[in-house]
Structure 1
Amino acid sequence: MQIIEQSHTIIRTEIVAGIGFFDGVHSGHRSLISDIISTSRSRNMSSAVITFRNHPREILHSDYCPQLINTFEEKIDNLSETGLDYCIVLDFTPEISQMSAFEFIKFLIENYSLKCLFIGYDHRFGHNRSEGFDDYVKYGETLGIDVLQAKMYIPEKNHINVSSSVIRKLINEGNVSEATQLLSHPYALQGYVIPGYQIGRKIGFPTANIAINNPQKVIPANGVYAVKIIVNREQRYNGMVNIGKRPTVHSDGETCIEAHLFDYSGDLYGQYIEIQFIARLRSEKKMNGLKELTDQLQKDKEHAMNILLNSSIPC
């Protein structure tokens, strides 16, 4: 997949494209992308998505703080796995926000050889999002391109209408296993290991305290999770993670993300870690002292190992 970040970049073939922010690159997005690719091949054209580096609402509302499923880098990585020929990346600017849908389609035709545009079944674009699919079709006819509407994607297993907002809600609630089903890949957080309180080391459960490197990422609900952990993008481990305020031991009240890696020994300070969430084991709760905490952590570890050993996601 070729990434295009500049206007007037020469694309030597006409393209079939879809527009969207594509947060999560979830199964609904992948269904749309599959339609784009199959249509492009049948027409002997190239396939593309048109997306934005920044969330449009950040420009439209200065106080808006997005909760993202993907960082920009994750989104590009996920899109690159789909078989697309191009990913056209735009900066959402005040100038773009003022474009009507007609003006935006014309901009895409003039700059990126757009010949066929796929619209998500509920997607609207253009200034104030005031126009709908029938309008887009008329604009396409005027400008000489086809405008097609993608079908609503509802998985057979759970019959949930897949959307980024539904997945964010699931993650916020701690339902990471269902979020994974809708994403088609585990939800993940990335960051660096920083010094912590080192209580876990004293009770036989040393933990890595993680500072997340993107404050806009959605943090799962407080609790204990079975996870896959990747250290420095190479070494893979099973483990468990606690997200919460550490009520059993001294805490400053801030939410901490602490990872315990199974079968690992060594110094992790300063290391880059990716946490892939597989399942939630339990909610956070206060124990009556370190002995009860240790016993509970042992039960959590056994529970997590059982889940992870039966997980289809490789460690």
Structure 2
Amino acid sequence: MSASRAPWRVLLDRQWLLAALGVVVAIIACVLLGLWQFGRYETKSARADLIAANYDAEPAALDQLLASPSSALPADEQWRTAELTGRYCTDPACVLYVRNRPYNGQTGFFQLVPFRTDEGTLLVVRGWVPTEETQSLPLDPPPAPTGDERIVVRMRPAEPVLADRTNPAGQIQSVSPELAAEQVPGLTGLYTGAYGELVSEHPSAPVPTHPEKPDTSLGPHLSYAVQWWLFALFFPVALVIRARRAVLEAREDESGTETGSREDGPSADVVTALPRAARSSRAARPVPTAVRTAPRRRSQDEEDEDALLDDRTR
């Protein structure tokens, strides 16, 4: 029983326990990152659906979207078109410019003009104007039209006030009714929770460039989420495969050790068990001569010398 469990003991080493802990941490991190990316995908998808539903919808009355000037714009009414009848505030002090607004890769201004209606005053972005080359000022902005106007706008929530920013006269850093009220005192009934982006004016007048259409692309967030979740599956699979390989290697090492001891043991016992006489006789056994030396033949000179010696002794 202990021998069969022995290979698995390698997984109880400190390095394997740390590896298992690291895999758990990696799985949790990958799952959370995948959920984060999926959340971003859902947010962009919901925003794209809202823009598709409201961007070109039939205009509604302003009081249908905002119950009062202090009401916040409902989330499901963003980008909804609204129709208003009233007048622009054409006093030069009323026309404001919102800094650092991009359009087609350039940075310029939004022209922001209060539009007075019987219900209240709504800030309207009439469009985008470029920046002068030498100064941070709008370049040739068209004036707001005078007289009664019927306008169509897309409703947007008011932007927050950026901290620690200074505002030159006639300029603000965000489309904020609070900042506009500071620059243009005397605005009555100002809508504080929303503003409008101009779609059309009747009668028509020269207008700045319309702001860019909002981006409705979903981005790669869904594919990133799937990738993170695949990574979460990869780590435990890799750990199991590596652990199995380590167990097999440990089992092979153990089998090789047992086989080696069996091969070496019997041969030594056989040598030890040989009778002493057999070992001594085997040691004393003469080694056979492989080749016997043949007798050397005598030469003719040696024969003649022997014959001469025989004649003298006779």
> Does TM-score exceed 0.5, indicating one fold?
no
TM-score, normalised via structure 1 length: 0.20
TM-score, normalised via structure 2 length: 0.20
Q: Which has the higher helix share?
A: 2
Q: Which has the higher strand share?
A: 1
* Higher relative contact order structure (alpha carbons within 8 Å, sequence separation ≥ 6): 2
